Structure formats: structure tokens, C-alpha cells
Amino acid sequence: MADVSEASAHGGGLKRTLGPWSLVALGIGAIIGAGIFVRTAAAIAERAGPSVTLAFVVAGIGCAFAGLCYAEFASMIPVAGSAFTYSYATMGELVAWIIGWDLVLEYAVGAATVAIAWSEYFNKVLEYFGVQVPYQWCHSPFEKAMGSGVAGIMNLPALAILLVLSLLLVRGTQESAMVNAVIVVVKLAIVVMVIVIGWGFMNPANHTPYIPAPTTYTTPEGVVHPYGGIMGILGAAGVVFFAFIGFDAVSTAAQETKNPARDMPFGILGSLVVCTILYVLFSHVLSGVATVEDFRTFGKEASVTFAIQKYMTGYSWLGKLVTVAILAGFSSVILVMLLGQSRVFFSMSEAGLVPKIFADVHPKFHTPWKSNLLFFVFTGIFGAFIPGDIVGEMTSIGTLFAFILVCAGAWIIRVRQPELPRGFKVPALPVVSILGIGVCGAMIYGLGWTNWLRLAVWLVIGLVFYFTYGIHHSKLNPANAKK
């Protein structure tokens, strides 16, 4: 097991400039993205109908428990690296490997999910200029157009945005604090405008019954989901959980925080509270303005813009504004996710768990350029050839599993090393850890056996790689101590 002090020693020299409200803004900027603008409609259509609002509450509660555990880790080990660094320093290499491998689902597959959403809204922008990408070149081979039955071939816009942003990362382009703040304001403004203006266009019939009777829904791809009832809400919570992914990115800024012990918990939990309230209100309005059938058919793509243009008479300008602003916001989210992925694998490469190529730095741009390009190939395959619903749920279940390990880790390290200095302690431990594991586990259960199978296959592939490569090249392996 790596030493906590050793983990804390890595990556020093960053200037501590961030206060609590800066961290809240960072969290909101990372959280609000494709999840609220795309996955909400999928949850309404396939899982819960108007009770999607309850799903957001469940997802928010699960994130809050995990967030408290993240906060303790961040105050105890205030370094970059998020869950991988925490687990590497406290729970040993194997658990760290599982979490690091799992984070590929959060960051890389998550970037592909947002790229697919970016493609949907990009096509809407092109329509404003009388241009349209043919269906087969902006959808995966597993999707067919409503009515015509035309099948997709590959999603070129999703592939293109992933390539452009990967090349930007190779060049070393980073968002400044000012740019991030502007993007946060824009995304918040969109959400608030849709809530305020859309409130007057809600149809009470769309909220009746608020919790649909338990039944099933079969997607166009042939996947059967529980719809309505408790299982529908839990399944929807797993789907919209994607909308909360990003709050853990706050913990990666611990080295640049003025007072990590005080500010980390505030930043993590504060951003979660703000976003949960906005999400509940936003989903309540969206499910009240348009029907479930809308989100199952022609309103499935670019759902927010569709609802505005079809039902909110006199506000077509808002639909266009939302489309362009969402497009810009999605671009920043993809950039952050790709950046986060390269950082996690950079740390894993430094530990010897993945090949050195992931830590190779460009001689001119000083970025892990080979890692960026390799992950472009990986994310490009998902973005171009897999439907958004599938990659979105893979991202959710992978992140939920990582959160379960973090909740367990906070409990384990409190028992094993209670003497370690902590700027923040999870209250009522182990109750919080148990509740976090329980709520996240319930959301995994709600996502259904197809997603369990995908997660299991992914983890098996990771374990095979670890036992055939990682364990033999690890810096914790005595055989490599003198290398």
C-alpha cells in the first residue's frame, strides 16, 4: 500500500488561489452539461415519466453521501488525482486499479456520451442555416430514423468534435478561470430561463399520473426497461445520475484550494445542493411542457429545443439561443472530461500500472499527447458507432460503482488509520458510508441486467490487464524497486 504522505508529496508547487465559492462555481460548471439537457428526456421516455423529479432527488442523495466521503479524502490527501489517488494511498493497489479502470467509464465514455449529445444540437444549429447532415452520417449503425427506417452508419459530428478537442489538449489549451465562470453563468441562465418561462406552458395532464403504474418500455434498439413505479424511479435515477457526474472533479483542485479542510466539503456539497434544486425544477417543467410520447419519438433528440419550439409559442428565439449555448457548454464539458481522463491515466502510468506511453510528454507542448490521441481513438469508436443511451448508462453505472468503492474506502481508512489528520470528517460514519453504498447500489440495480453485464465485462477486461501487465510493472512490486 502506498503511503499517504508520499501521495501528498506528489505534484506540489501549484498556487493555492481557490476559495469556497470558486469551488462551487467549478462544481456547477462540471455538473451542468449533457446530463440535464439530454438524459432527462431519456429518463422521462423510457423509465419514469413525470416522476423523473423524484429520480433526481434519489440521485442527488446518493451523490451527497459519496460527496461527504470524497470531502474527507480530499481534506486528508489534498492532491490531484481524485478517487484513484485516494484509493491508491489508502486501500492498496488492486482497489486503486479497479477505480482507475472504472474511471475510464466516467471520463472517456462520458466524453463520448456528451459528444453524441453535441452532435444532436449541432444538427439543430445547421438546420437554422438550411443545412442538414444526412441521418446515416450523424447516427450509430444501431439506430434507425423515425418513419423512413433509414439506418445510421457513423456519427461524424461526434467524431469531429472529439478530434478537435483532443488536438486542442495536445496543444495544451486550458480553460481559464474567467472562461469557466462565463460558461457557468451561461449554462445557469439557460436552465433558469427554461424553468421561469416554461412554467407557464406546463400542461397538468402531462403530470397525471405523477408516478405511472408499473409496466415496461421497449426501446427502438429492443432493450426492455421497467417503466413507472419504484423500479422506474430507480432506473431513471441511474439514468439521470449522469447529470451529476463532475462534482468529484472539485476534489482534483485540492492542491489549488486555500483551505482544503474547510473549502472542499463546501465546494462539493454546495454545488450538489444548487444543481439538485435546479434539476428538480427543470425536469418538472420539461415533463410538464411536452408529453412522454414526444420524448419517445421526434423529441428524443435535442429534447429541450424540441419542447420549446413545439409548445412554447412565441419563444422560438429561446429555442435557438438554448441550442447554441448548449453546444458551447457541451464543448467545455467534453474538454474537461478528456483532460480528466488523461490525468487519471498519467497517474496510473506514473505508478507503473499502465504503459509509459500514457505518461509521455510532448517535447514542445508539455502535454501527455500520446495519451490524448489514444483516448481519441477509444472515445471516437464509442461516439461514432454506439447509441447515446447505451454509452450514457455505461458512464452512469461505472461512476456509481466507483462511488460505492469511495464510500467503502472512507469507512475502511477511518477504521484502519484513525490517527491520520483529517481537515473534515464524515459525520455519523459508518452510517453515511452504508447509506451511500445502499443508494448507489439501488441505482445500479435499477439500471438493469444489460448494464450489469456491460460493467462486469469491463471489469473482467481490466482485471485481466492488471494481472498480466500492471502487477508486474507496478512501482510497488519489489522486483521493480531498483529499476
The answer to whether residues 184 and 29 touch, using CB atoms and an 8 Å cutoff, is yes
Q: What is the dihedral of CA 91, 96, 98, 99, to 10 degrees?
A: 100
Q: What is the mean pLDDT of each run of 10 residues along the chain (483 residues)?
A: 47 60 78 80 94 95 88 67 68 86 87 92 90 92 83 94 90 60 79 93 95 92 89 94 77 67 80 91 96 91 90 89 84 82 84 89 83 93 91 89 89 86 83 95 93 93 94 82 55
Cell numbers of 207, please?
403530470
pLDDT, position 106: 81
Residue with cell 469511495: 406
Residue 186: all three cell numbers together: 451561461
All 3 cell numbers of residue 199?
Answer: 412554467
- Cα-based distances in Å from 474 to 96, 182, 317, 358, 460: 12, 42, 56, 14, 19
Going by C-alpha positions, the residue among 233, 283, 289 that lies closest to residue 46 is 233
Sequence-distant (6+) residues with CB within 8 A of 434 are 407, 411
- Give the DSSP H/E element, type plus range, for residue 377: helix 369-385
Cα torsion angle, 471, 472, 477, 482, sign: negative
Q: How high is the pLDDT of residue 13?
A: 44
Q: For 281, how many CA atoms within 13 A lie in the half-sphere containing its CB?
A: 17
- Please give the pLDDT value at position 9: 42
The SS3 of residue 460 is helix
Give residue 254's pLDDT.
Answer: 60
Quote the pLDDT of residue 27.
78
Give the Cα separation of 330 and 187 in Å (integer): 10
All residues at 6 or more sequence positions from 303 whose CB lies less than 8 Å from its CB, including other chains? 37, 38, 40, 41, 286, 290, 295
The Cα 249–Cα 26 span in angstroms is 8
Helix (H) or strand (E) holding 307: helix 303-311
**DSSP percent split of the chain into helix, strand, coil, nearest 5:** 75, 5, 25
Q: How many helices (H) and strands (E) does the chain have?
A: 19, 2
Per-residue three-class SS string for 209-229: CCCCCCEEEECCCCCEEEECH
Residue 223 CA, distance from chain mean position: 23
Taking the C-alpha atoms of residue 118 and residue 468, their distance in angstroms, rounded to an integer, is 37
Residue 41: name the closest of 30, 32, 52, 31 by CA: 52
Say if CB 198 and CB 289 are below 8 A apart: yes
Q: How distant is the alpha carbon of residue 151 from its chain centre?
A: 28
- Rounded CA gap, 387 and 365, in Å? 34
The neighbouring-strand residues paired with 387 are none
Q: In the block, which residue shows the cell 451527497? A: 64
Where are the chain's structural domains? 14-478
The per-residue pLDDT for 385 is 94
- Residue 257, φ and ψ in degrees, nearest 5: -100, 135
Distance CA 480, CA 408 (A): 30
CA distances from 285 to 172, 212, 327 (A): 40, 17, 21
Instruction: Copy the grid coordinates of residue 424.
Output: 473534515
Give the CATH fold of the 14-478 domain: Amino acid/polyamine transporter I (1.20.1740)
pLDDT value of residue 5: 46
d(CA 54, CA 35): 16
The DSSP-derived string for 159-212 is HHHHHHHHHHHHHT----HHHHHHHHHHHHHHHHHHHHHHGGG--GGGGSSSSP
Cell digits for 159?
467524431
| pTM, full prediction | 0.84
Dist. CA 224–CA 274, nearest whole Å? 33
Match 459528444 to its residue by C-alpha cell.
115
Cell (9 digits) for 370: 500520446
